[in-house]
Structure 1
Amino acid sequence: MQLYSEHYVTVKAERFVNKVWCLDNSVGESLIENKLALPNGCFNLALITGNSIEVHTSKAKYQMNEGVYFCSQMTNKVLVNIHPKTKVTIIQLHTWALSMFPKYDLSNFTDSIIKIDATELPFKIQTNSNIEIVLNIINTYFETLSDLNSEKNTIEKICEIIRLREDEISVSEISTALKSSQRLLQIKFKTATGLTIKKYIQILKFRKSVDQMVNSDLEKLKLTDIALYNKYFDQSHFIKKFKDVTKTTPKTFDPDSYFLSHKR
């Protein structure tokens, strides 16, 4: 059985949902330990059935038994141990998805996980639902949400500007593009995501660099090329930032230890 798998939503639902991914140790007899995940600028909604998983963030260790969990933005690598007879289905939400629900203030909520009551979700879903049912529920809900909100809100516009810009952009340039004050944009973004705009830009830059590095054998890229291409000052600056997140150097980085996105 494949431990890690990725599944994709419809084009319309993809406005808010990056993908759905599964960690399946449901028929396993042994603990799968020391698997790692990197920050990528997304929120995760985890549906756990069976026994439990352990997740170590930079702030705390979480024992996640059967149930529904909301995972905040992560700023450092996360270690995961998956117990036997356990399956985790994870709905990965884009950065701006939570801004559609303004009652949530995430200003001080990063590198953290909370258990939530399934009845609090805006859609009805069972933790033991198979992937086809999960995708159907997610597609139906987020397609409707997209139809009801054809206009992008401020958070979605900020993220769109950052993602479409090939070179690094400043908060000042974003505020000019949106004709809004930097302070107001920073407050709105922090409330909706838990991150500063600058930190979000750094996370995206880091993940892009890692993806390039992992595939460097194919692209014939050197660390210096990756560093300069992604606007790090130089190779040493890139290595320092890399160690800040992964606690290892690019040369000793082992992709097989990580849950990294498949190429689509």
Structure 2
Amino acid sequence: MQLYSEHYVSPKAERFVNKIWRLDNSIGESLIENKLVLPNGCFNLAIVKGNSIEVHTSKNKYEMNEGIYFCSQMTNKVLVNMQPKTKVTIIQLHTWTLSLFPRYDLNNFTDSIIKINAAELPFKVEIQSDIEILLKTINTYFEALSDSNQNIIEKICEIIRLREDEISVSEIGKLLNSSQRLLQIKFKTATGLTIKKYIQILKFRKSVDQMLNADLEKMSLTEIALYNKYFDQSHFIRKFKDVTKTTPKMFNPDLYFLSQKR
């Protein structure tokens, strides 16, 4: 049985949905414990089927029984314990996707999880649905939005994503002809993060991905740090420890659910 798997939406739907990933212990007989997830700048909708999954964030411990859950932005690593006879399907939404629904104020909602009613979602999700049906539902809903104009949150994220060097909020404001204060308020209301924190999370994940895919015998931590715009190796190690509570040299990828290389 493959515990972790990834499933991809259509190219048009990818504007709003990064991917769907699944943790499947449905035929397992034992508890899967102490697995870890890193922050990535996305929101997650988690569909739990079967027994339960226990999630420890930096703020709280959540017992997620069968149902549908909304997971906020995470700023630190998350610990996961998964009961046998349990399957969790996670729809990973890009940072800006929730800003399409302005009734949600996420200003103070980070490192948190809430249970929601399926009727609250703009698309139909059933706990019993298999992955093919779920993909079809997600593709149909988000493809219909794919020709819409970018809102301010998506524009901010795109500027950050496309910029090779690190960018300041002041520079983003100039590019969008908007005040820094207004951008910060809108971004935090829609995501729960400051723009600076969002940039830090993206930089951290890019560094981790580079570490995992690089030959550290040929590429030093200093090179990785400087490539990802940290001041130096010490700065990189300090920020790495803030999130993972370990150093890059001691980082064990086998303990984590990490994105598959496409």
Q: Same fold (TM over 0.5)?
A: yes
Report how far residue 146 of structure 1 moved: 2.0
Query: Who is 1:209 aligned against?
Result: 207
Q: For 1:90 and 1:112, locate their aligned partners in 2 and report how far apart those are by CA, in whole Å.
A: 15
If the length of structure 1 is used for normalisation, what is the TM-score? 0.98
Q: Does 1:56 align with 2:60?
A: no
Q: Give the secondary-structure state (helix, strand or coil) at the position aligned to 2:69.
A: strand
Q: Does 1:180 align with 2:163?
A: no
Q: Does 1:14 align with 2:14?
A: yes
Query: Who is 1:151 aligned against?
Result: 149
Q: For 2:45 and 2:27, locate their aligned partners in 1 and report how far apart those are by CA, in whole Å.
A: 23
Q: For 1:171 and 1:20, locate their aligned partners in 2 and report how far apart those are by CA, in whole Å.
A: 31
- Conserved in 2, the CA contact under 8 Å of 1:216 and 1:222? no
One-letter amino acid of the counterpart of residue 107, structure 1: N
Query: Within 5 Å, which residues of 2 pair with 1:55-74?
Result: 55-74=55-74
If the length of structure 2 is used for normalisation, what is the TM-score? 0.99
Report how far residue 128 of structure 1 moved: 1.9
Query: Within 5 Å, which residues of 2 pair with 1:235-254?
Result: 235-254=233-252
Q: For 2:217 and 2:195, locate their aligned partners in 1 and report how far apart those are by CA, in whole Å.
A: 30
Encode CA deviations 1:11-40: one digit per residue, 9 max, x unaligned: 000000000000000000000001100000
Label 1:106 to 1:195 Cα distance change in 2 as closer, same or farther (>3 A): same
Q: For 1:29 and 1:145, locate their aligned partners in 2 and report how far apart those are by CA, in whole Å.
A: 42
Q: For 1:256 and 1:212, locate their aligned partners in 2 and report how far apart those are by CA, in whole Å.
A: 16
Q: For 2:118 and 2:16, locate their aligned partners in 1 and report how far apart those are by CA, in whole Å.
A: 19
Q: Give the secondary-structure state (helix, strand or coil) at the position aligned to 1:44.
A: strand
Query: Within 5 Å, which residues of 2 pair with 1:94-105?
Result: 94-105=94-105
Kindly tell me the number of residue pairs found equivalent between the two proteins: 262
One-letter amino acid of the counterpart of residue 162, structure 2: L
Query: Who is 2:224 aligned against?
Result: 226
List gaps (5 residues or longer) in structure 2. none
Over the aligned positions, Cα root-mean-square deviation in angstroms equals: 0.9
Report how far residue 85 of structure 1 moved: 0.1
Q: Does 1:40 align with 2:40?
A: yes
Q: For 1:7 and 1:236, locate their aligned partners in 2 and report how far apart those are by CA, in whole Å.
A: 37
Q: For 2:134 and 2:219, locate their aligned partners in 1 and report how far apart those are by CA, in whole Å.
A: 39
One-letter amino acid of the counterpart of residue 132, structure 1: E
Query: Within 5 Å, which residues of 2 pair with 1:65-214?
Result: 65-147=65-147, 150-214=148-212
Q: For 1:31 and 1:107, locate their aligned partners in 2 and report how far apart those are by CA, in whole Å.
A: 35
- Conserved in 2, the CA contact under 8 Å of 1:48 and 1:128? no
One-letter amino acid of the counterpart of residue 214, structure 1: L
Q: For 1:132 and 1:169, locate their aligned partners in 2 and report how far apart those are by CA, in whole Å.
A: 39
Q: Percent identity?
A: 82
One-letter amino acid of the counterpart of residue 140, structure 2: T
Q: Give the secondary-structure state (helix, strand or coil) at the position aligned to 1:185.
A: helix
Query: Who is 1:258 aligned against?
Result: 256
One-letter amino acid of the counterpart of residue 195, structure 2: I
Label 1:238 to 1:52 Cα distance change in 2 as closer, same or farther (>3 A): same
